[in-house]
Chain A
Amino acid sequence: METLLNDFSPGLFVVQTILLLGLIFLLVKFAWKPILTSLNERESGIHDALEAAEKARAEMQNLQADNDKLLKEARAEREAMLKEAREIKDKMITDSKEQAKIEGDKMLKQAQVAIESEKKAAVADIKNQVAELSVEIAEKVLKEQLSNKDQQLKLVESMLGDVKLN
């Protein structure tokens, strides 16, 4: 103990106290404060970055899910559109078939009517001509027969006889 106390140097103690005080002051000012501040900043930066990355990942997942959903929807829509188009096509085909049939029938009917009327007209015409021809023939015959009086009288008499019968 005595040697220990003897070894204790008050001068060194004073010098060490002053130097340590100076060292602490200088280091705090020029080293520890900026170092700790930057470390804390960096750590909070890393923390924020990690959080942001996590958030971005979640967002990405959401986006992907959205994309999938959209894709599915688009696919379904395409299916639906295709189906509709097919239906429309079928319908159009059947419709036009029907229409064509109706139209054809109509035209057929018209043609038949026209043919009928033509036929009728032709028959009428023929009838007229036949009548005219017969009238002419009759005229000629009559002219021939009625050139003498006897024959005229005979005819009148026969005709009158027919009338009486009616």
Chain B
Amino acid sequence: MKEVSKMIRTLVLLCIFCISFQGFALSEGGDEGAVDTKEEVDAYIQHHIKDAHDFHLFSYTGDNGERKHVGFPLPVILWSSNGLVTFMSSEFHHDDAGKVVVEKGGSKFVKLHSKIYELNAGATEVQFDEHHHAENAAKVLDFSITKSVFGILLIGLFMLWAFSSLAKQYAKKKVPTGFGRVLEPLVIYVRDEIAKPNIGEKKYRKFTGYLLTVFFFIWILNLLGLTPFGFNVTGQLAVTAALAIFTLVIYTFSGNKDYWMHMLWMPGVPFLIRPILAIIELAGAFVIKPFSLLVRLFANISAGHIVVMSLIAIMFTLKKSLGVVGATGLSLVLSFFITLIEVLVAFLQAYIFTMLSALFIGMAVAEHDHDHEHDAKGHEVPDAEDVRGDFI
């Protein structure tokens, strides 16, 4: 019984890999004439790093010259002027230029550059101004299960499955086996290398759950972004902003008296400077810190995607000057090495985000006044907490 389920699992994995590689080859432009010029490549990359409303695997041109798209639609959930509207994204027929108008719940919707707009009352189609902005349509609040949300759900379920099965293993045995043996050192790594040194031995426990979740969430989604499925979840501003705000909320609400005192009325400096310092500190805590978190992750991952896709595009843009073999070879070698670097970046960004979150939390909960050991002459002996405090 066990072997059968194992075999099925292997087969499913194999199928996923086959499909994904096929999708990769085709969606990146194995199709002549689809994505060819620099402008088209640019537009394609711009389109890719945005969120999408359907799960697009690959496209091809049929025998009759018609573009065919392979993938599956995702549900669209909108809060329009007429209330909640839901439909499947297939109703847009892969249109992204605002041409197809979907009428649902008394409102008309178009999709333009991966965003859904609601047409103003009375309008039947979108009119553009000279900057190619929709004139007679407004953005709606879009709670759709987009490709990013789909990725988040997928990874969320995966994490739940993986880590709760690891947790269950401990009930039966002291040392986990199988996949848990891979996960355990990672958990220990986050606890011992990120949470403990930055927050301190005494208080790390309360925040480790958040740090572990964020670390694995970002890391796995970063890695998922490197697969040919084309997820770009951690390259979405909304996602990184939510992550950064979580960190902000946690360190703001767990800040102790010392933290607020150092922020609002810095001891040990002249009184006149204190209000100025307070402004700087407040800006640092509420704007700069979360902003650095959200922009760093977003920019790194988006840049990685753009670089990898641009290098893949060498295949088409340099085909004329280098020939098919030369362009393809160059593209393969370059994109291969950049992808290797991106694997490292995927981990690094997850590490940095978690590490800085831990650091910010550690600053908020650090204890500055605690009992010191005294040496023979009555001087205070600095302990590990002070040394840590000096670094923070």
Contact = CB atoms under 8 A, between A and B. Distances in A.
B123 to A, nearest CB: 21
A39 B166 CA distance: 11
B324 interface: no
B352 interface: no
A12 B167 contact: no
B238 A16 contact: yes
Contacts of B332: none
Nearest to A6: B115
Interface string A116-145: 000000000000000000000000000000
A148 interface: no
A108 interface: no
B246 A20 contact: yes
Interface string A1-36: 000101111111111110110111011101111111
Interface string A39-61: 10010010000000000000000
A35 B163 contact: yes
Given A7-B50, A9-B142, A30 B164 contact: yes
Contacts of A24: 209-210, 213, 246
Nearest to A10: B141
Nearest to B159: A27
A12 B212 contact: no
Interface in B158-211: 159-160, 163-164, 166-168, 170-171, 174-175, 184, 187-188, 191, 205, 208-210
Interface string B199-232: 0000001001110110001000000000000000
B238 A12 contact: yes
B143 A32 contact: no
Nearest to A11: B142
Given A16-B238, A26-B160, A11 B213 contact: no
A30 B212 contact: no
Interface in B133-148: 141-144, 146, 148
Given A12-B142, A20-B246, A30-B164, A39 B152 contact: no
Contact of B163 (A15, A17, A31): A31
A30 B149 CA distance: 22
A12 to B, nearest CB: 4
B334 interface: no
Nearest to B131: A2
A62 interface: no
A33 B187 CA distance: 12
Nearest to A24: B213
Contacts of B245: 17
A94 interface: no
Interface residues of A, number: 32
B34 interface: no
B261 to A, nearest CB: 29
A11 B149 CA distance: 10
A19 B174 contact: no
Given A12-B51, A20-B246, A27 B213 contact: yes
Contacts of B50: 7
Contacts of A31: 159-160, 163-164, 166-167
A64 interface: no
A38 to B, nearest CB: 4
Contacts of B164: 27, 30-31
B338 interface: no
Interface string B242-267: 11011000000000000000000000
Interface of A: 4, 6-17, 19-20, 22-24, 26-28, 30-36, 38-39, 42, 45
Interface of B: 50-51, 79, 115, 141-144, 146, 148-149, 152-153, 156, 159-160, 163-164, 166-168, 170-171, 174-175, 184, 187-188, 191, 205, 208-210, 212-213, 217, 236-239, 241-243, 245-246
